[in-house]
Amino acid sequence: MLADFFLPTCQGYLLKIHVVPGASRTAVAGLHGDRLKVKVAAPPEKGRANEELLAFLARSLKVPPKSLQLTSGVASRTKVVSVHDLSPDLRSRLLALVPEP
């Protein structure tokens, strides 16, 4: 199901993400099982891919970068990012991340 990659929390949402580092550009590539697949235009070195992922999500979701936090998967392709934002339209912005098939 489309909404399986995020879970509501009392402070916002948890996003389950599968990252593919070293891409030519940063973009959402669809779903990977129950995770959002994001290709990142940064190498997996010294946290660069993680920084690019968080910056991309902040831009895409129109939230301040400080409201995003990498909660698990620092050195893994499977990551969990928490979004601390209680905007009523955040759910629709999350759904809009997934490209149409």
- 98 within domain boundaries: no
| Residue 25 pLDDT > 90 | yes
- 48 within domain boundaries: yes
Question: Which carries the bigger pLDDT value, residue 26 or residue 1?
Answer: 26
pTM of structure: 0.94
Q: pLDDT, tens digit, for every residue of 33-78?
A: 999 999 999 999 999 999 999 999 999 999 999 999 999 999 999 9
Q: pLDDT, tens digit, for every residue of 85-94?
A: 999 999 999 9
- 97 within domain boundaries: no
- Residues 38, 23: contact at Cβ < 8 Å? no
pLDDT of residue 83: 98
DSSP bridge pairs for 19: 38
For residue 7, what is the domain's CATH number? 3.30.1200.10
Query: Which H or E element spans position 55?
Result: helix 48-61
Question: How many independent structural domains does the chain possess?
Answer: 1
